[in-house]
Amino acid sequence: MTMTKSGASSLLGMDREELAALTTEAGQPRYRARQIAEAVYRQRVESLAEISTLPLEFRERLERSGFTVGAARIEKKFVSGDGTVRYLMGLGDGQTVETVWMPEGDGGEAGDGSEAGAEAESSLSASGAEALLEESELIAALKRCATQNPVVQNAPAKKRARGVGRSTICISSQVGCAVDCQSCLTALLGAKRNLTAGEIVGQVCAVLKDQQVSPPQDRINLVFMGMGEPFLNYENFVKASLLLVECVGIAERRMTVSTAGIVPRIHDFGEETIRPKLAISLNASNDALRTRLMPLNKKWNLQMLIAAARDFPLRTREWITFEYVLLGSVNDEPENAKEVAELLRGLRCKVNLIALNPGPGIDFTTPSEARVAAFQKILRDAGIPAFVRRPRGRDIYAACGQLKRTVEGSTSASQPVQGISALPAS
């Protein structure tokens, strides 16, 4: 049972066994549990009254017992010029978190050996993005880099049966964040509290309903890269992953979790039966620089982090992603790129390069495209597959590192703060 701050019991967040126990305790047949799961996770109802498959008496009993669906509430939504949507989600205790819908993704899955990665590569190629390696070059680079199962099958993306493909939802795992990365706006909020598994899954259900899409018919990618550090809310994150696979219908190979480097949890994560793909925020090429940019490096330094990555039990055609936020004249020098290449040598991995997404209170600058390209080339030449993640929703504070529940302004790489126009919640 998932208890919210208000004391109500939320059906969102209950797994199949918990729902079966609930219905059995109420004297109902076990198939009622399947009906509840179908209504909550697939039909995405928002109230007990909408679960029409349940007898009225049972619904009333649930309500008297303090049960609610626990659906996330979309308080505001901001739409970018590139189609990205940033949602401000209201929680039961009055707190809010942010969730982002990217209709064509941001290329973050490219090169990871999965079906989603192949689709991202196809999308980047179609858009003419310079970040994409030519297929022959990509395969050669991956073979040079790999230490396990080095051959990668880059199968062509399947033709979509419906209108939505390669869309990505970026979800939050905490209200605020305690990691204090210096280039991230979320860090300015500090840590408020963990989200429950139901609150994590509820974000996904709310966005799917608002966008009128439904997996697995629609190919939805999911990234735990919103507000918070998922591995500091480990149990709820793991349970949410299970619910997203078994109840919502999103394949684990289409999910990626990003950690700032909580080393003990990386070891734990490798033992999970159901787990998304792993991404690690690197952001620096040596300990002194990483400690400056990511204070948690004082506890788990690069030697410990890279050792955990080398020990991580990768599945067939699975690759670890290292994310590297490029800060102008701070960590984007050629020497930094050479140090990164040496750190990752022999690892079955690829690197996503992210040019800083600006925001008030962040004392760094966005590097030029030329510096980004030069950094990428050094990594490629060293045999490390490197991709440039394209910024999505930068004008509405929806891009990587910009989530701070902002409602008063928007920004771009070259423009001052401007007014945001919010759409009413639907």
Per-residue pLDDT tens digits for 99-149: 999 998 666 555 555 565 555 555 544 444 433 333 344 434 444 434 333
Contact 353, 373 (CB under 8 A): no
349 shares a domain with 298: yes
138 shares a domain with 243: yes
For residue 388, name the pLDDT band (cuts at 50, 70, 90). Answer: very high
Sign of the Cα pseudo-torsion (15, 21, 25, 29, in order): positive
For residue 344, name the pLDDT band (cuts at 50, 70, 90). Answer: very high
Rounded CA separation 116/110 (Å): 8
45 shares a domain with 109: no
What is the predicted pLDDT for the residue at 149?
36
Give the end of a domain, one of 20, 39, 68.
68
Q: Which residues contact 425 (CB under 8 A, 6 or more apart)?
A: 73, 74, 75, 76, 77
Residue ranges making up the domain that contains 53: 2-68
What is the predicted pLDDT for the residue at 247?
97
From the candidates 38, 63, 98, 229, which is the catalytic residue?
98
376 shares a domain with 308: yes
Report the CATH number at residue 334. 3.20.20.70
For residue 391, name the pLDDT band (cuts at 50, 70, 90). Answer: confident
Rounded CA separation 234/270 (Å): 13
CA angle 71, 257, 273 (to 5 degrees): 90
345 shares a domain with 413: yes
Report the CATH number at residue 25. 1.10.150.530
Any bridge partners for residue 3, and if so which?
9
78 shares a domain with 60: no
The CB-based long-range contact list for 73-77 (8 Å cut-off, 24+ gap) reads 73/206, 73/425, 74/206, 74/210, 74/425, 74/426, 75/425, 76/407, 76/422, 76/423, 76/424, 76/425, 77/210, 77/422, 77/423, 77/425, 77/426
pLDDT tops 90 at residue 399: no
385 shares a domain with 313: yes
From the candidates 145, 177, 349, 400, which is the catalytic residue?
400
User: Is 205 tagged catalytic?
Assistant: no
For residue 2, name the pLDDT band (cuts at 50, 70, 90). Answer: very low
Characterize the bridge pairing of strands 67-68 and 9-10.
Answer: parallel
179 shares a domain with 50: no
150 shares a domain with 38: no
How many domains are contained in the chain? 2
337 shares a domain with 264: yes
pTM of the complete model beyond 0.75: yes
pLDDT tops 90 at residue 347: yes
Provide the angle, in degrees to the nearest 10, between the axes of the packed helices 302-311 and 334-344: 40
369 shares a domain with 243: yes
Give the end of a domain, one of 68, 89, 116.
68
40 shares a domain with 121: no
What is the predicted pLDDT for the residue at 64?
96
Give the end of a domain, one of 68, 88, 122.
68
Contact 292, 253 (CB under 8 A): no
User: Is 400 tagged catalytic?
Assistant: yes
Please give the average per-residue pLDDT across 316-326, as a whole number: 95
